[in-house]
């Protein structure tokens, strides 16, 4: 019984969406480390990491049953945050594959898509410096209705990231962007929660179908 308050505290922090109190996410990372001490992560997992669209994928393990997936997203993170904590939330797991969704929060302040791309490129090169042979898959920045005004930045970043990864071995660019538009090219608010940013299960179902063929199976 003495561990119940600790478990409750860890779970509450781990599921926190915003990080305004701790913008560098140091506390979030410490909670993840404590969580790993209580619940051992799978050995050599397929590691999903990035921002809240990963963190809030609550049934990721259920959807990808049969795959040793591990969710280590951090809500509110921009690319430099994941880059800062590569040694904490990526390397210790010795992943067999890394799946990234990061960059969408960057578009809020980035002057252009090139800036977002450079941040993602830096993160990729940081990972490659330590894990040169581990496959890396990048999920394209999604078209969120609440961020419609930033979509030109997002589409430019997606294009640059796609073209860059095409020159790198062991990589994949998973383009979910067009799948989240209707036949006329319009955004689909019905895929999103009330904030028009975070997805409902219908959005994750689209992601699941697109991502699964890219996962390593051994």
Domain boundaries defined on the chain: 43-214
Contact 212, 64 (CB under 8 A): yes
d(CA 101, CA 16): 18
- Tens digits of residue pLDDT in 129-159: 999 999 999 999 999 999 999 999 999 999 9
- CB neighbours of 201 closer than 8 A, spacing ≥ 6? 59
CA atoms within 13 A on the CB side of 101: 25
pLDDT of 24 reads 78
- Tens digits of residue pLDDT in 21-32: 445 799 999 999
- Tens digits of residue pLDDT in 181-208: 999 999 999 999 999 999 999 999 999 9
Question: Global pTM?
Answer: 0.89
Q: Is 170 exposed, middle or buried (0-12, 13-18, 19+ CB in 10 A)?
A: middle
- Tens digits of residue pLDDT in 38-74: 999 999 999 999 999 999 999 999 999 999 999 999 9
| 17 pLDDT more than 60 | no
d(CA 97, CA 115): 26
Choice between 107 and 3, residue whose per-residue pLDDT is larger: 107
| 5 pLDDT more than 60 | no
Class of domain 43-214: alpha beta
| 1 pLDDT more than 60 | no
What average pLDDT does range 109-120 have in this prediction? 98
pLDDT band at 14 (very low <50, low <70, confident <90, very high): very low
d(CA 44, CA 36): 14
């Amino acid at each position: 019984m003495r561990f119940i308050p600790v478990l409750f505290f860890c779970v509450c922090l781990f599921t926190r969406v915003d990080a305004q109190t701790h913008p560098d996410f140091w506390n979030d990372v410490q909670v993840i480390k404590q969580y790993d001490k209580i619940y051992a992560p799978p050995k050599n997992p397929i590691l999903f990491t990035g921002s809240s669209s990963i963190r809030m994928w609550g049934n990721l393990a259920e959807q990808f049953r049969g795959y040793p997936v591990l969710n280590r997203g951090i809500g509110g993170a921009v690319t430099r945050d994941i880059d800062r904590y590569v040694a904490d939330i990526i390397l210790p797991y010795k992943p067999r594959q890394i799946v990234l969704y990061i960059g969408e929060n960057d578009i809020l302040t980035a002057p252009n898509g090139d800036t977002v791309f450079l941040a993602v490129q830096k993160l990729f090169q940081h990972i490659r410096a330590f894990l040169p042979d581990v496959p890396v898959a990048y999920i394209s920045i999604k078209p969120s209705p609440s961020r419609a005004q930033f979509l030109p930045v997002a589409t430019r970043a997606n294009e640059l990231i796609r073209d860059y990864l095409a020159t790198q071995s062991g990589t994949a660019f998973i383009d979910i962007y067009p799948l989240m538009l209707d036949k006329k090219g319009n955004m689909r608010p019905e895929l999103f929660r009330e904030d028009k940013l975070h997805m409902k299960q219908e959005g994750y179902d689209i992601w699941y179908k697109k991502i699964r063929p890219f996962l390593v199976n051994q």
